[in-house]
Structure 1
Amino acid sequence: MLALPIPMIVALVLGFLFIRAVLSGDRPYLFCALLAICALQGVVVSLHQHYGIAALLAVQPITATVIPPLAWVAFQATAIRRFDLARDAVHLAVPVFTAFCMAFAPDTLDVVVPAVFLVYGGAILLRLRQGPDGLPLMRLETGPLPGLVWSAIALALILSAVSDGLIAVALATGRGWLQPWIVSLLSSAALFSIGLLSLSQSVVGAPEERTAPQAPRPDTGDPAAEKDLMARLDTLLRDSALYLDPGLTLARLARRLQVPAKQLSATINRATGDNVSRYVNGFRIAHACERLRAGDSVTAAMLASGFNTKSNFNREFARVTGMSPSAWQTRDTT
């Protein structure tokens, strides 16, 4: 009976998910690339560690160090800013440097490879400390979910670094027999987690508007200027019913108001105590209450109010009203 090692099983699952993502066409190409490289790494690890193909020893660290910079570029391009080839291509230097180390200083790889995973995982976590408003391309209706998913991806990168460190310690202390177990359990778990998490719809940002950028207004910190900005924001949301668009992002709002995204989020926070997502979702929940009062079903009210998923809708509805949509509808009709 054919028995497949865990890394190969992980590779096959991720490969299947990659093919499905490509055929469905609903995933950004950077996420598809991340799935593909995770699947490839599973194959490389399996063929080297479990099937004894020694030639792949020189390939394994290079393909491994493609994953963290690719995850970082996907994070930047879908959550923070549009992909910029000239700016993002610099991350290709990471696997190139790894190849250089493999050729001329292979002993350094025990430090280089874990360091790459730690640095990129830590960079993602550091950026996420800014909260949901630090991800201006994320759809506001998703709330904190993108941050949670990206945190999990960052932790998976760090887990991979830990597994590499444990392998180095095992080899240095004469416990090389532990290496296949560490690879099969920790490394494969990290690859599998990164691949699966990249499929979450919460981390797919909305397309950024392609209109010509306007000259931003200065952030003076003046209370009168902030009051004016909030008035313009409320007018924009109410007159255009922009909050009903499930693809609405902080970047799009800021572009419409001709202010930097950081300025807009800071102004909303100071004026209301809420982040941008919660502020806009307040408009959405008020609209959903109107639809429920008019007799719409919970699902119809959700879709008509700018939400794509019930989990996000139920979470925000409970936050604003203190009860579930069905309980609110029942109370309002009795």
Structure 2
Amino acid sequence: MIFIPLPFVVALLLVILLVQMVRRNEADLRENIAFMLLIAAYALQSVLIGIRWGYDVRAIMPFQSVLATLIAPLAWIAFSGLTKEPSAHRLASLWPHLLPACLVVLLLIFWREPVGPVIILVFLSYGAALLWLALAGPDVLVESRLDGVLRSYRSLLVTALAILASPVTDIIISFDLEWTGGTHSGAVIAAANVLALMLLGSAAAVASETAASDEEEEDVSHAQTTPRVTSEDSAVAAAVDALMTSKYLYKDVDLNLGRIARRLGLPARQVSSAVNRVHGSSVSQYVNGRRIDEARRLLAATDEPITRIMLDAGFLSKSNFNREFLRITGLSPKAWRRKYRPPKGTMLAISLPGKGK
């Protein structure tokens, strides 16, 4: 019977995930390159782990160490890239993140003892940085498409926690090697690799910016709102309203907070705070409310298929459209059309029932 280590299966699944991302038409390969490199790194690491623990090839361990010090920086680069406007000079600022890997290479050549602690320190540092980034709330991901920003935010949290958990795994393995000679290390590695698959599944969802899952979303940033609304907040929120009304900006399926802020010439955080305080919702919920209003108008006034209306209103994902429509109106799009569409030959009422925020 042929023995296939579990990490090899994980690597295969990651490769399939990577191929799907490359082939997906809506994904911009240049914008998603960091996430793709992250998945590729995890796939390669899974292969190395399978060789090391499946076949006890210890010579592979230096390659594992170097690759490990690239994975955490890649995660940081990928997610931090969603917090700022793409720049042609961004690649020039990435070189410091290669320093941990360079340091590990030098240590492997001249002094191997500190390699383990250095890798643990790298993961703890980048994990803490990702967690600190997440504390700012979902609107910090200004370059993430509003149609799926909450899932992007969840993926950021999962990634931060998983990277912070990785040093714990290394410590457990070290103790196991010292106390039992590595009796349980294989099982620990296998479990950690499955966790890595879950992590990369989330990261891939962010990279391709698919819509959130069908489960009900909770607006994380809503808990951070304050009831105090300043005149400046009102002015910014009014400017956002005017932009949506005059330019129909909500119809852009790739719309994100960064793009709105750039159109207004304001910092993204200022726009997010103003919308949050004035409307009592995140920017994504505000824009989705506008989209649902447009969808209801089209459902009542036209014979267009619901999928066509979904796209015209600014949604890219059917699951997200259905979930938001149900949240705001209490009905599915099909049921709403059946209930509220006027008989042929009658004039459509100007005000729509159940208007969302």
TM range (shorter): 0.7 to 0.9
> How far is 1:23 from its partner?
5.2
Question: Whole-Å Cα distance in 1 between the matches of residues 250 and 120 of structure 2?
Answer: 43
Asked whether the equivalents of residues 146 and 203 of structure 1 are also in contact (C-alpha less than 8 Å), the reply is: no
RMSD: 2.5
2:50 corresponds in structure 1 to 46
- Specify the SS of the correspondent of 2:51: helix
Cα gap change, 1:24/1:232 in structure 2, threshold over 3 Å: closer, same or farther? closer
CA contact (8 A) 2:151 2:206 kept: no
- Which of 287, 296, 303 is matched with 2:294 structurally? 287
Alpha-carbon distance in 2 for matches of 1:15, 1:318: 36
| SS at structure 2 position matched to 1:137 | coil
TM-score normalised according to structure 2 size: 0.81
CA drift at 1:286: 0.5
- What is the CA deviation profile of residues 133-186 of structure 1, one whole-angstrom value per residue up to 9, with x for unaligned ones? 111001112241111122222333233332212101212323521111111222
The equivalences for 1:162-173 within 5 A come to: 162-173=168-179
* Contact 2:155–2:206 (8 Å) recurs in 1: no
Q: CA deviation at 1:113?
A: 2.1
Q: Kindly indicate whether residue 180 of structure 2 is the aligned counterpart of residue 139 of structure 1.
A: no
Q: Give the 3 Å change call, closer, same or farther, for CA 10–108 of structure 1 in structure 2.
A: same
Counterpart of 1:114 in structure 2 is 120
1:35 paired residue among 28, 35, 39: 39
Letter in 2 for 1:132: P
Q: Structure 1 stretch 295-304 or stretch 137-146: which is displaced more?
A: 295-304
Q: Which residue of 2 aligns with 1:154?
A: 160
Structure 2 distance, partners of 1:54, 1:128, is 37
**1:155-304 paired onto structure 2 within 5 Å:** 155-186=161-192, 188-200=193-205, 204=209, 223-294=230-301, 295-304=303-312
Name the CA distance, whole Å, in 1 between partners of 2:244 and 2:201.
35
In 1: Cα distance, 2:234 partner to 2:203 partner: 39
CA contact under 8 A between 1:140 and 1:247: conserved in structure 2?
yes
How far apart, CA to CA, are the structure 1 residues paired with 2:124 and 2:165? 9
Q: Which amino acid aligns with 2:332?
A: S
Q: Pick from 79, 88, 97 the counterpart of residue 94 of structure 2.
A: 88
Structure 1 partner of 2:108: 102
User: Counterpart in 1 of 2:224?
Assistant: none
CA distance in 2: counterparts of 1:288 and 1:143, whole angstroms:
20
- Distance change in 2, residues 1:222/1:319 (3 Å): closer
Q: Which whole-Å CA distance do the structure 1 matches of 2:144 and 2:293 have between them?
A: 22
The letter for the 2-side match of 1:239 is S
Greater displacement, 228-237 / 112-121: 112-121
Q: Which runs of 5+ in 1 are unaligned?
A: 206-220
Aligned residue type for 1:189: V
Cα deviation, 1:17-58, whole Å, max 9, x if unaligned, reads 334544557342222211211111112222222223332222
The number of aligned residues is 318
Q: Deviation at 1:297? A: 3.5
- Checking the alignment, whether the CA contact within 8 Å between 1:76 and 1:82 is kept in structure 2 is no
2:316 corresponding residue in structure 1: 308
Change (3 A) 1:15 1:259: same
Structure 2 match to 1:128:
134
- The residue aligned with 1:15 is 15
Q: Structure 1-normalised TM-score?
A: 0.86
C-alpha change, 1:226 and 1:12, in structure 2 (3 Å) is closer
Q: Percent identity?
A: 34
